Amino acid sequence: MSVEQHDDFRKRRSEIIKTHLRNDPKIRAARRRMRVRFMLGIASYTIVLLVTLVFAKGVTMAMHDARSYRLMVAPVIRDLPDTHIGYTLLMPDPITTQIATFLRPYLNADNHAHLAGGQESVVSDTSQTVPLSLNDQN
Number of domains in the chain: 2
Q: Domain limits at 114?
A: 108-138
Pair 116, 96 in one domain: no
Pair 119, 65 in one domain: no
Contact 121, 129 (CB under 8 A): yes
Pair 68, 116 in one domain: no
Pair 116, 86 in one domain: no
Contact 59, 99 (CB under 8 A): yes
**Which pLDDT tens digit goes with each residue over 10-57?**
999 999 988 888 888 888 899 899 999 999 999 999 999 999 999 999
Mean pLDDT of 58-76: 88
Q: Specify the 3-state DSSP secondary structure of 55.
A: helix
Position 33 scores a pLDDT of 95
Pair 7, 73 in one domain: yes
Pair 38, 70 in one domain: yes
Pair 122, 73 in one domain: no
Pair 27, 90 in one domain: yes
d(CA 28, CA 65): 55
Pair 77, 127 in one domain: no
Q: What is the pTM for the complete model shown?
A: 0.59
